[in-house]
Amino acid sequence: MSVSELQTGLPVDVLTVLAGRVVHLTGQPGARPPTVLLGGCGVPSYDWDLVAELLPDLSLVRLDRPGLLGSPWPDEMPRLNAEVATLAALLETVGPAIVVAHSMAGFHAEALARQRPDLVAGLVLADCSVELVPRRPRLQRGWLWLARRVRRIAAVRLVGRLSSFSQRLLVAAQSHRRVSERVSSLTRQTFRDPDTIASVLAEQAAYAEQVWDLAELRKAYSWPGIPTVVLTAAEKGGARWIAKQAQLAELLQALQVVVADSRHLIMIDRPDVVAQAVRELRARRNDHD
C-alpha cells in the first residue's frame, strides 16, 4: 500500500516504503497542517493513543521505524541520515507538519528541521534525549552481529516471552504504569517479534553514532528558528536533567515546559501536556499567517 493514501482523508493503517525502507504508518484525517508523532527507541505508535484521543479533530500521522508493527528489520544499524531521509519522504508526501518527537527520535526531528526547514511547521520535543558534548563512537560491527544473532534466537518462544516481559518492566520504570497492569495482545505480539527485538537492540547500539552525527550536522546547519517546545519530564532525572533540557531549549531557541508529574514516557503519563503543546504551536502558526 502507498503512503499517498494518507492524502485521501480516510483513516490509514499501512506498511509502506519511505526512502527505501519499509515502515508502518497510522493516519488520522483532520485539520491541517498534519502532526507527525515519533516514538523513541522501542516505542510503538500505539503508545501515542492517549495523545491522539485528545486531538480527534487534527490530521495525525504516526510513524513506526523499521522493525515495529509488522515492518521488517532491515538487517543494518540505523543511521541518522537514513532516519532523516525517511522523515523527509513522509513529509514531502503529507505536507509540512508539526513534528512531535520523543526521546531518541528528537535527534531525527532536529536533524530534519536543520536540513529541511521547509518541511517542519513546528517542533515538540517530548523528553528528548540530550547529548551536547558527544564522544566519538566506536565501531558497531559487533553490535550488528549481536542484533542478527538475537533475531535468530528470538524465534524461540521462551526468548520472545522474556522480551515481552522486559518491555513491560521498562514501561513501568519509565512511566506511572504498574508492572501488574494488563497489557494488550498487540503489545505482547509486538515485543515477541524477532524483528522488533533486533531493531530495538540496534537502535540502542546506534545511539552514540547518531549523537555524533547530529553534533557534526549542528556545525554545518544553523538552527532555522522553527517554533519549538521542549517538554521535560521532571521525574526522569531531577534538577540535573531539567538543566540539560534547558540547555537544549536554549540551543533551539525553544520554550521549555517542565512537567513535574511525568517520567520519561511523557505521552503516557501526561498526554494532555503533549496535546496542549501541539495546539499552542498551531495557534502561533495561525497568528502568523
CATH number of 3-288: 3.40.50.1820
Q: What is the mean pLDDT of the chain?
A: 91
Residue 129 near residue 40 (C-beta atoms within 8 A): yes
pLDDT value at residue 173: 86
pLDDT value at residue 165: 64
Cell, residue 82 = 537514513
Q: What number is the average pLDDT over the span 243-254?
A: 98
Query: For residue 142, which phi and psi values (nearest 5 degrees)?
Result: -65, -40
- What residue type is 183 in one-letter code? V
Q: What number is the average pLDDT over the span 211-223?
A: 97
pLDDT value at residue 143: 86
Q: What number is the average pLDDT over the span 54-75?
A: 96
Peptide bond into 66 cis (omega under 30): no
The pTM assigned to this predicted structure is 0.94
Q: What is the C-alpha R_g of the chain? A: 18
Assess whether pLDDT exceeds 60 at residue 22: yes
Q: 245 — alpha (psi -120 to 50), left (phi > 0) or beta?
A: alpha
pLDDT bucket at 167, cuts 50 / 70 / 90: confident
- Continuous segment of H or E residues that includes residue 269: helix 266-269
- According to DSSP, residue 47 is labeled G
Q: How many other C-beta atoms can be found within 10 angstroms of the C-beta atom of residue 1?
A: 11
pLDDT value at residue 166: 75
